[in-house]
């Protein structure tokens, strides 16, 4: 809702003559909190109901955290704008410890992200990962109540909620490679609405859009969904885009990494190249194995 309000205000500033209302709904991803996302349909559960509203004409646009948007959109829908990316990093949050390194053995870390789980265990294999779902406030309450020694959250979400006191222990990119699209907001609309496309154009940030395009192209080529720990982060210096990609086993014992650079105009190709390099290392076997396990409910 906070993110929707950000977009509402920007559009209102651009078009003061328009009446812009927020239609708030609760998605399946918001409501099913007792199971991991990768067992109940993945991050797409946060966007599927919104996409239905767009296809039915009940809503004109939908605002998403790009890290929650599946690699393939529903037929008939497109992304009209990728807004300027906020902080893409993750944050270590704890009331008792100042870093992952300071956690005692067997300390409990809360996250339902396989990507975060794998990278935490790669750094500290003796830590205990426990599932953690719910909105940011709910997660912070569970930390305060003592259910967890630490939790991992996205910096961008904390910033947008004004929870700046939780941002003092950032995890750098070398410790925790972000999720694909993390920190960026995307605006989706019905492809038949040319009028919407024109209205959204000023909100698109070309640099952020190119980075997210590269990351999503990598993710699409890997075809991992949220069943496997996949991370990707692109940066641009002058006209060169560099993408780092990662695929890991959830236990953190096997991690494949790849990096590739090229011209910003070739963002999608750069993403596909990183994916191919990861697959050549053996990442495909991890992705296939995990997909089969989840489908059989073996976990």
The active-site residue out of 60, 68, 90, 149 is 68
**DSSP states of 180-195:** TTTT-EEEEEETT-HH
Q: Which residue is listed with tokens 């236990």?
A: 251
Residue 8 CB neighbour total at 10 angstroms: 15
- Locate 59 and state its tokens: 């809503």
Q: Are 2 and 135 a contacting pair, CB within 8 Å?
A: no
Strand intervals (E) in 222-275:
230-237, 240-248, 255-263
Q: In the beta sheet, which residues pair with residue 231?
A: 246
Burial of 92 (0-12, 13-18, 19+ CB in 10 A): buried
Q: Are 173 and 89 a contacting pair, CB within 8 Å?
A: yes
Has 68 been annotated as catalytic?
yes
List residues with catalytic annotation: 68
């Amino acid at each position: 809702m906070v993110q929707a309000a950000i977009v509402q205000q920007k559009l209102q500033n651009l078009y003061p003559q328009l009446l812009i209302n927020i239609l708030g709904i609760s998605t399946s991803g918001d409501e099913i909190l007792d199971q991991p996302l990768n067992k109940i349909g993945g991050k797409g559960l946060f966007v599927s109901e919104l996409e239905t509203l767009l296809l039915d004409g009940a809503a004109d646009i939908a605002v998403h955290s790009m890290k929650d948007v599946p690699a393939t959109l529903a037929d008939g829908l497109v992304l009209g704008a990728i807004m300027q990316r906020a902080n893409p990093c993750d944050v270590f949050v704890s009331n008792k410890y100042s870093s992952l390194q300071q956690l005692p053995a067997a300390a409990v870390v809360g996250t339902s992200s396989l990507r975060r789980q794998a990278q935490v265990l790669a750094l500290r294999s003796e830590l205990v990962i426990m599932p953690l779902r719910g909105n940011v406030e709910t997660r912070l309450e569970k930390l305060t109540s003592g259910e967890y020694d630490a939790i991992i959250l996205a910096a961008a979400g904390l910033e947008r909620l004004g929870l700046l006191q939780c941002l003092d222990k950032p995890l750098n990119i070398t410790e925790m490679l972000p999720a694909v699209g993390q920190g960026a907001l995307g605006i989706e609309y019905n492809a038949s609405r040319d009028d919407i496309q024109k209205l959204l154009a000023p909100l698109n940030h070309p640099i952020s859009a190119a980075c997210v395009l590269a990351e999503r192209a990598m993710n699409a080529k890997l075809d991992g969904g949220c069943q496997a720990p996949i991370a990707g982060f692109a940066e641009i210096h002058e006209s060169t885009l560099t993408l780092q990609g990662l695929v890991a086993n959830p236990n953190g014992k096997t991690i494949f990494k790849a990096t590739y650079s090229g011209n910003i105009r070739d963002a999608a190709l750069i993403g596909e190249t990183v994916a191919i390099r990861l697959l050549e290392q053996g990442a495909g076997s991890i992705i296939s194995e995990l997909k089969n396990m989840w489908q059989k409910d073996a976990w």
